[in-house]
Amino acid sequence: MPLAGERQVDLDAGAAVSEQPAPAQELGADAVRRVWAAVEASTALATKAAYRSDWARFERWCHEQGQASLPAHPLTVAAYVTEAAGEQRPPKVGESGSGTRWRYSPATLARWVSSINQFHTAAGLDAPGRAEVVRRALAGIRRGRATPPARRAPLLLEDIRQLLETLRLAFHQWPAGVIARRDAALLLLGFATAARRSELVGLTVGDVAVHRVDGLHITVRKSKTDQEARGTVKAVPYGRDPQTCPPCAYTRWRQLLDTAADLSPAEQRRPVMAALFQQAGDPGVDGHVCRVDLPAPTDPTAPLFPTVHKTGALSGRGMSGQAVNEVLARRAAAAGYTDAQIAKLGGHSLRSGFVTEAFRQGADAHAIMRQTGHRNPTILETYAREHAPLVGNAVTKLGL
């Protein structure tokens, strides 16, 4: 609840109208609502939810401290983040060691400041988090922690091969083969497109087009760096090895998707099982199956990677980003990875694996950015420095 004398601001459409100058007389109420609906659409739902949660926490703290939250003084914001920076988590049950476990990371504190700024600018006020005292407070917190960021370990091409080896054991089994086919396509397309996990699970059947020469043209309609959904096309070429050929994995998976289309889960069993076993008896030319003609999808809006029940039934609901993490963890465990290795894997491992493998194979930053969509080559240097430290390194010229 806002304190007495404070103005209440919400990021919902139309809520900020009262905080703005009155529109011209000829601008009707419907037009005003359309304007604020457009403003509302400029921010993703998840981002707005994070802003509101962060703002509610800041309001509670200000109320307890007897400080104004809107407008907030820069010193109030600096005191807020520095107090939170000193909080520690209690040790876990059975945890040994005396290492400090901070409750909030510097990144979380910086996000809080960003949320505070958003609510101030929405109310037509100066953003207190942009003041020098707040910037230096955050910089001091980061320097005091001096801990490297936790990064996902990359999955290189050899890692992908290992994971696929365990998948192949179930390719022609029922019902495990359905999930195995999906996971194989997920791994290879995720790796070859260098997609973020949100981009990967957001793909629909209609987003993939088979190109006679190039292989696959995959349209990513929206991404972290493309909130306006201008879209981009990523090409995935035909592979030399049928075991790691992304179009082959896509073809086998599409055949199962097409078979299950428009069928209820109860009706899918016989035809999908038959399609799965038919694939076992048709290795294709030189082991490849990617040159077959696929029909136009029945429903282009259907998710490319739906959830699959343990009975082999395909749903009409797409996988979540967390489900991608679980697939990688499950397949890595089956391939013999240790618990410590699995803990470092996640959906980003496919994207970072592409960048790392590309650097190791001699690709330059510009060529890598063509596929990843990065706008700044400096970011790619992080991958090269941490996961491909010998690439372009003079130490290899010493003749040791």
Q: What is the tens place of the pLDDT at every residue in 1-32?
A: 344 334 444 454 334 433 444 434 445 667 65
Quote the pLDDT of residue 41. Answer: 65
Largest Cα span, the chain: 80
Which class for 80: exposed (0-12), middle (13-18), buried (19 or more C-beta within 10 A)? buried
- Of 80, 78, 71, the C-alpha closest to 9 is 71
Is the model's pLDDT at 372 over the cut of 70?
yes
Which class for 343: exposed (0-12), middle (13-18), buried (19 or more C-beta within 10 A)? exposed
Quote the pLDDT of residue 269. Answer: 92
**Rounded mean pLDDT of 343-357?**
92
**Region of 4 on the Ramachandran plot (φ > 0 left; ψ -120 to 50 alpha; else beta):** beta
Full set of structural domains in the chain with CATH:
17-89+103-145 (1.10.150.130), 157-343 (1.10.443.10)
Average pLDDT, the chain: 83
Contacts of 187 (CB under 8 A, 6+ apart): 160, 163, 164, 167, 249, 327, 331, 350
| Residue-wise pLDDT tens digits, 117-168 | 988 887 788 999 999 999 999 999 988 876 666 678 899 999 999 999 999 8
| Residue-wise pLDDT tens digits, 197-236 | 999 999 999 999 999 899 999 999 876 655 555 778 999 9
How far apart CA 255 and CA 34 sit, in angstroms, is 44
Is the model's pLDDT at 80 over the cut of 60?
yes
| Residue-wise pLDDT tens digits, 26-61 | 456 676 566 556 556 666 677 778 888 999 999 999
What are the two backbone dihedrals, phi and then psi, of residue 217, each rounded to the nearest 5 degrees?
A: -110, 115
Q: How confident is residue 377, by pLDDT bands cut at 50, 70 and 90? A: confident
Residue that the structure tokens 């194979």 belong to? 361
Q: Which residues pair with 102 in a beta bridge?
A: 88
